[in-house]
Structure 1
Amino acid sequence: MIIFNQRQQEILTLVQRDGHVTVEKLASHFDVTHQTIRRDITMLANNRQLQRLHGGASVLSSVENTAYKLRQVLLHAEKERIARLAAQHIPHHASLFINLGTTTEEVAKALHAHRGLRVVTNNLNVAATMCHYEDCEVIVAGGIMRPRDMGIIGESTIEFIRKFKVDYGIIGISSIETDGMMRDYDMREVRTSEAIISQSRNVFLVADHSKFGRPAMVELGHLSRVTALFTDAPVTAEMADMIAAAKIALHIASAN
């Protein structure tokens, strides 16, 4: 696996957040030469993490997500903060769905001190983490396993999830557009998330700031379908107005 340095990881974060960045802007931001930034962009493009353009770089596409191993380290501290805050809003002796995603996996880790949890998940990383917790029962959905992220998807996964009604559905997402639409890259993953939302009394969406305005192809639904949004930075005024109108609880896991 290719290991990207801190600057290259930050370049990816900026590209995912803004959609497009210029060499000039990146060179100024990191206080390095244009040649250094061009080499970074070339390396990231050659490893299919972004699209190299004349004078800059853009997100790879609306149909392909960033590689899972890289998503595990991108904005990791921010995801940990989001996870800790979300865990504080989940009581002991609760039933949960936890879906696919690196941020939801951090929520699973943050629940280590909870007691009496009953967890249904299609994420084998979550299952492997939580099965060792004291007084925690983990139920794993059946289906087709994706090797790249240990996720379980497919029709049998959806059918399995629909057998349960839980207190909290913990979901991640790849994109939240400015109009509040949630989007992802895989139709089967989206259909699984839809089932989780419909079978949860409360839905907690955990999403770092890079997910806002990011392109993705498959529509999951409007943000108004969730109970609470947990993120790491203040949202735009337009997004804040939409969240308030939809009566969604907004929780910011700030660094301070």
Structure 2
Amino acid sequence: MSLTFRHSEILDIARRDGKVTVEGLAEHFNVTLQTIRRDLTDLAEAGKLERVHGGAVLPSGVTNIGYEERRGLFKEAKLRIAKACAVEVPEDASVFLNIGTSTEAVAHELLRHRNLLVVTNNMNVPAILVGNPDCQIIVTGGQLRRADGGLVGKLTTEAVSQFKFDLAVIGCSALDEDGDMLDFDIQEVSVSQTLLRQSRKVFLVADHSKFRRTAPARIASISEVDAVFTDQPLPKTLEARCRDWGVRVVVAR
């Protein structure tokens, strides 16, 4: 079977089943696992699928990929991003970390920072930063989103509004070429919008997969952040907008 026809059939199976697995496709086409991994990488780079652990799913503009799946995606890229971001997080500072696997990666890189006050609506962050005895941790409270340990809603927004942070490190679900940061949960968007108003400086951490995704809820323009930490150069249109807005882009190699 030609590559083109195999790619087309892989997409048909993904549309039918919602997800494809490397082992299942290798058996279906009677080819090696390596061949299927290359196929899925090609389709992901073309924006037709999103890689997840053991396979791929259709890119969705309405529902986010499951948390455990997201945690397994682009681990090395997230680590590089987190290291580059953490270098610029000052000691003796108040810092907010929001919901997301990229911000959790940043938390790991803050374990040796001194005299931090970290506020978060991500229940996974305290479990990480408890290993830093020189870090005071405050959890916002709010409605628990069991899928990923995020805290959202009115109580969370009200808690965030009580602070003025030196720095906020945030993630998002997608980055539009128009320069908009996007997400799936309108309650989380409300928290992020409040956070932008309550922070002296904002860092966005986003791996390259966010450039190819979309989501229905707008957080804000990327012009409202000070720096973007990512693992690959931004799309040219978005890169030009960041340059015009004075938003620094750090590509972690």
TM-score normalized with structure 1 length: 0.80
Tell me if structure 2 keeps the 8 A contact 1:16–1:211. Answer: no
TM-score normalized with structure 2 length: 0.81
Q: Which whole-Å CA distance do the structure 1 matches of 2:223 and 2:187 have between them? A: 21
Aligned partner of residue 167 in structure 2, secondary structure: strand
Tell me if structure 1 keeps the 8 A contact 2:211–2:235. Answer: no
Q: Which whole-Å CA distance do the structure 2 matches of 1:9 and 1:171 have between them? A: 31
The answer to which structure, 1 or 2, has the higher relative contact order (CA under 8 A, 6+ apart) is 1
Partner in structure 2 of residue 173 of structure 1: 172
Once the 2 structures are TM-superposed, how far is the Cα of residue 83 of structure 1 from its aligned partner?
Answer: 0.2
- Which amino acid counterpart does residue 213 of structure 1 have in structure 2? R
5+ residue gaps, structure 2, are 1-18, 23-32
The total of aligned residue pairs comes to: 221
Aligned partner of residue 182 in structure 1, secondary structure: strand
9-18 vs 119-128, which moves further = 9-18
Once the 2 structures are TM-superposed, how far is the Cα of residue 19 of structure 1 from its aligned partner?
Answer: 3.0
5+ residue gaps, structure 1, are 27-39, 52-58
1:12–1:137 CA distance, 2 compared to 1 (3 A): farther
Q: Which whole-Å CA distance do the structure 1 matches of 2:103 and 2:215 have between them? A: 19
Q: Which whole-Å CA distance do the structure 1 matches of 2:46 and 2:98 have between them? A: 26
Tell me if structure 2 keeps the 8 A contact 1:12–1:50. Answer: no
Tell me if structure 1 keeps the 8 A contact 2:185–2:217. Answer: yes
Aligned partner of residue 200 in structure 1, secondary structure: coil
Partner in structure 1 of residue 188 of structure 2: 189
Partner in structure 1 of residue 48 of structure 2: 20
Partner in structure 2 of residue 124 of structure 1: 123
Q: Which of 57, 80, 84 pairs up with 1:50?
A: 57
Q: Deviations over 1:4-33 (max 9, x none)?
A: 769788877766654315xxxx9xxxxxxx
Identity of aligned residues (%): 39
Q: Which whole-Å CA distance do the structure 2 matches of 1:12 and 1:192 have between them? A: 35
- Which amino acid counterpart does residue 65 of structure 2 have in structure 1? T
Q: Are 2:146 and 1:147 equivalent residues in the alignment?
A: yes
- Which amino acid counterpart does residue 47 of structure 2 have in structure 1? G
Tell me if structure 2 keeps the 8 A contact 1:18–1:214. Answer: no
Once the 2 structures are TM-superposed, how far is the Cα of residue 95 of structure 1 from its aligned partner?
Answer: 0.6
Q: Which whole-Å CA distance do the structure 2 matches of 1:146 and 1:183 have between them? A: 18
Superposed CA RMSD in Å reads 2.5
Q: Which whole-Å CA distance do the structure 2 matches of 1:115 and 1:82 have between them? A: 21
Q: Deviations over 1:142-169 (max 9, x none)?
A: 1111111111111000000000001000
4+ aligned runs moved over 2 Å, structure 1: 4-19
Tell me if structure 2 keeps the 8 A contact 1:96–1:167. Answer: yes
